[in-house]
């Protein structure tokens, strides 16, 4: 070992221990944050709400105390309004502590994210070059900035409420300070509320999935499940998945098509998430994986069964139309129904309720023994693009991926629903189009399968509802309202004080 290596090793070990310490620290704070602070009990919202109620009570009784308080006031030594002001101050101190702890957890998550990026770079997996990294990093930095502003406004609110003990709430200055304290607290809430839309953490391997928004996706999916998984994975998880895919490909059985094997593995994991028992899942996976591959799937340090279930659940929530479409095909295969038309399988689906964009999935497969060219035409007056035409050349599949007799979900070999569905996804053509709504309300989409000459083969019309995300709209409205209230309150307080000063000068 060279002198340079000897000098480098201790630094590397120290950095590794520091990174592990940060990760363990986040695990501790994230557990508290999930149960009490940001989620669970939600003290970060409840405490400011209570302080607003007590501050309104203090303002209401600023001129006189209730009669029953007259017996308590000599003992306490303060009016009812000042007692509520003191209670508000204590609640705000608790709220500040909660914000400090919550921001500390967010800071630890971002530091762990940066450390993970650095670790992957050292393994020659450049995360920064992946599409979507910059938007994710910008979201994390924006969340950190918003939490810093929320904490700053919270501290300012407590300082202003503390100033009331100098002037007394019955005076004009005291009431102005109360108004300014309430306004800065509203600004604090206005900064915090938007961060609740896309939470993130690094304690869980899938902790960035909800924060990551896939910027683009393939129009025609080569390996359907594989493309869906990679599209919805955040850059860190996607880098790990690329390594995992290479490792798993080295464990395929001989004479097994790699694309078919990968699709069947993901299809089997999806069926396991829907209730397929563990023993049957292992039996299906053993048809394409060696014993080493089975151990890799069962004991992988990153992609455990729990992580796969989380990933599949996330994709299912983002693209319900795709899973509904293959669900119908699986039902047809299980019941032994004939294909949609002679010599061709055609299925199409999209969400029943559309929010920001609609995901339209189309599956086409040529069951005949000769190549065939067709046109898929999508038309809608309510979505952009209004008229879309895609021409596909459908080659025959390696085998006839359909059955006219009922099939079991899983059985030995590929003559079962899982096997045929995996073959359909591999040899078939799956198109994924994003349609942008132009108006809210009822909308229609027409999907036509045509010959090159323009003759109609089969057509489908889909009726959907276009709506905004209700919870997201409430959050945006609450954030804007809180910021407006804060700005108006501060402006009003300043105006009242200036008017009082010039009024005294004129008198």
pLDDT 10s digits, 179-205: 999 999 999 999 999 999 999 999 999
Name the pLDDT band for 170 (thresholds 50, 70, 90): confident
Measured CA to CA, the distance from residue 393 to residue 371 in angstroms comes to 7
Domain boundary, last residue among 282, 297, 318: 318
Q: Which residue has the tokens 């869980």?
A: 204
Assess whether 58 and 172 both reside in one domain. Answer: yes
Please, what is the end-to-end C-alpha distance for the chain in angstroms? 88
Residue-number span of the structural domain to which 446 is assigned = 327-467
Query: What integer is the mean pLDDT of 238-250?
Result: 92
Name the pLDDT band for 480 (thresholds 50, 70, 90): very high
Domain boundary, last residue among 267, 293, 318: 318
Assess whether 152 and 244 both reside in one domain. Answer: no
Beta strands in 173-213 (DSSP E): none
pLDDT 10s digits, 254-298: 888 888 889 889 989 999 998 888 898 999 899 899 999 999 998
Assess whether 171 and 280 both reside in one domain. Answer: no
Assess whether 431 and 494 both reside in one domain. Answer: no
Structure-token pair, residue 466: 């276009």
Q: Cα–chain-centroid distance for residue 275? A: 24
The CA–CA distances, whole Å, from 435 to 94, 156, 219 equal 47, 46, 12
Name the pLDDT band for 434 (thresholds 50, 70, 90): very high
- Report whether 359 contacts 350 (CB < 8 A): yes
Q: How are beta strands 344-349 and 429-437 bridged, if at all?
A: unpaired
Assess whether 110 and 223 both reside in one domain. Answer: no
CA count, 13 A, side-chain hemisphere, 453: 3
243, pLDDT greater than 60:
yes
Q: What is the pLDDT of residue 2?
A: 46
Q: What is the pLDDT of residue 33?
A: 94
SS3 349: strand
Query: What integer is the mean pLDDT of 84-105?
Result: 95
pLDDT 10s digits, 311-360: 999 999 999 999 999 988 888 888 877 766 667 888 999 999 998 889 99
Give the burial class of 218: count Cβ atoms within 10 A of its Cβ; 0-12 exposed, 13-18 middle, 19 or more buried: middle
Assess whether 399 and 450 both reside in one domain. Answer: yes
151 sits in which H/E element: helix 133-167
pLDDT 10s digits, 109-162: 999 999 999 988 888 888 888 888 999 999 999 999 999 999 999 999 999 999
How many residues would you count in the chain?
A: 507
Structure-token pair, residue 195: 């961060």
- Looking up residue 332, the CATH number of its domain turns out to be 2.60.40.10
Assess whether 276 and 370 both reside in one domain. Answer: no
Q: Which strands form 353-354's sheet, in the order they lie side by side?
A: 353-354, 456-466, 441-451, 372-379, 387-394
Q: How many domains does the chain have?
A: 3
Closest CA to 214 of 227, 205, 196: 227
Percent share of the chain, pLDDT over 70: 94
Measured CA to CA, the distance from residue 13 to residue 24 in angstroms comes to 16
Assess whether 105 and 180 both reside in one domain. Answer: yes
Assess whether 46 and 100 both reside in one domain. Answer: yes
Query: What integer is the mean pLDDT of 203-208?
Result: 92
- Report whether 355 contacts 430 (CB < 8 A): no
Provide Rg for the chain, Cα atoms: 30
Measured CA to CA, the distance from residue 99 to residue 105 in angstroms comes to 10
Closest CA to 88 of 160, 6, 188, 143: 160
Lowest-confidence pick of 70-74, 109-113, 303-307, 395-399 = 395-399
Name the pLDDT band for 48 (thresholds 50, 70, 90): very high
- Report whether 383 contacts 436 (CB < 8 A): yes
Structure-token pair, residue 381: 């007056």
Query: What integer is the mean pLDDT of 76-87?
Result: 90
Judge if pTM exceeds 0.95. Answer: no
Closest CA to 328 of 339, 316, 312: 339
Partnered with residue 450 across adjacent β-strands are: 375, 456
Angle in degrees, 0-180, between the axes of helices 235-249 and 258-273, rounded to the nearest 10: 120
Assess whether 140 and 240 both reside in one domain. Answer: no
Compute φ and ψ for 436, nearest 5 degrees.
Answer: -100, 120
Output 409 or 433, whichever has higher pLDDT. 433
Assess whether 43 and 110 both reside in one domain. Answer: yes
SS3 127: coil
Assess whether 41 and 185 both reside in one domain. Answer: yes
4, pLDDT greater than 60:
no
């Amino acid at each position: 070992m060279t002198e340079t290596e000897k000098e480098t090793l201790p630094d590397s070990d120290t950095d590794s221990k520091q990174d592990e310490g940060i990760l363990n620290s986040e695990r501790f704070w994230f557990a508290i944050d999930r149960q009490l602070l940001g989620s669970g009990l939600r003290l970060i919202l409840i405490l400011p709400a209570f302080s607003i109620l007590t501050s309104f009570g203090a303002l209401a009784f600023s001129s006189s105390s209730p009669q029953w308080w007259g017996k308590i006031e000599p003992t306490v030594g303060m009016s009812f309004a000042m007692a509520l002001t003191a209670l508000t101050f204590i609640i705000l101190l608790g709220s500040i502590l909660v914000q400090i702890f919550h921001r500390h957890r967010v800071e630890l998550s971002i530091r762990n994210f940066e450390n993970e990026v650095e670790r992957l770079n050292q393994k020659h997996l450049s995360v920064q070059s992946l599409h979507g990294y910059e938007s994710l990093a910008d979201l994390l930095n924006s969340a950190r900035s918003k939490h810093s502003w929320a904490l700053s406004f919270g501290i300012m609110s407590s300082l202003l409420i503390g100033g009331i003990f100098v002037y007394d709430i019955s005076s004009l200055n005291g009431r102005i300070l109360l108004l300014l304290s309430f306004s800065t607290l509203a600004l604090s809430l206005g900064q915090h509320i938007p961060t609740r839309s896309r939470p993130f953490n690094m304690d869980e391997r899938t902790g960035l999935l909800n924060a990551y928004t896939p910027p683009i996706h393939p129009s025609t999916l080569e390996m359907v499940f594989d493309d869906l998984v990679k599209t919805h994975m955040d850059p860190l998880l996607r880098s790990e998945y690329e390594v995992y895919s290479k490792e798993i490909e080295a464990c395929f059985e001989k004479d097994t098509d790699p694309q078919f094997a990968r699709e069947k593995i993901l299809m089997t994991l999806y069926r396991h998430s829907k209730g397929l028992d563990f023993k049957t899942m292992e039996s299906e996976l053993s048809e394409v994986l060696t014993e080493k591959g089975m151990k890799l799937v069962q004991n992988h340090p990153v992609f455990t069964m729990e992580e796969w279930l989380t990933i599949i659940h996330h994709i299912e929530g983002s693209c319900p139309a795709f899973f509904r479409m293959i669900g119908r095909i699986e039902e047809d295969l299980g019941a032994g129904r004939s294909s949609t038309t002679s010599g061709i399988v055609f299925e199409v689906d999209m969400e029943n309720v559309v929010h920001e964009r609609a995901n339209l999935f189309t599956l086409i497969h040529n069951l005949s023994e000769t190549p065939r060219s067709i046109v898929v035409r999508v038309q809608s007056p309510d979505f952009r693009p209004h008229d879309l035409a895609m021409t596909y050349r459908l080659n025959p599949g390696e085998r006839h991926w359909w059955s006219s007799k009922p099939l079991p979900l899983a059985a030995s070999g590929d003559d079962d629903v899982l096997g045929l569905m995996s073959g359909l996804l591999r040899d078939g053509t799956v198109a994924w189009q994003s349609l942008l709504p132009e108006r809210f309300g009822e909308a229609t989409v027409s999907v036509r399968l045509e010959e090159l000459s323009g003759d109609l083969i089969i057509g489908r019309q889909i009726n959907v509802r276009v709506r905004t995300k209700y919870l997201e709209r409430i959050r945006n409205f609450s954030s804007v309202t809180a910021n407006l209230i804060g700005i108006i309150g501060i402006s009003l307080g300043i105006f009242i004080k200036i008017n009082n000063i010039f009024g005294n000068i004129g008198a």
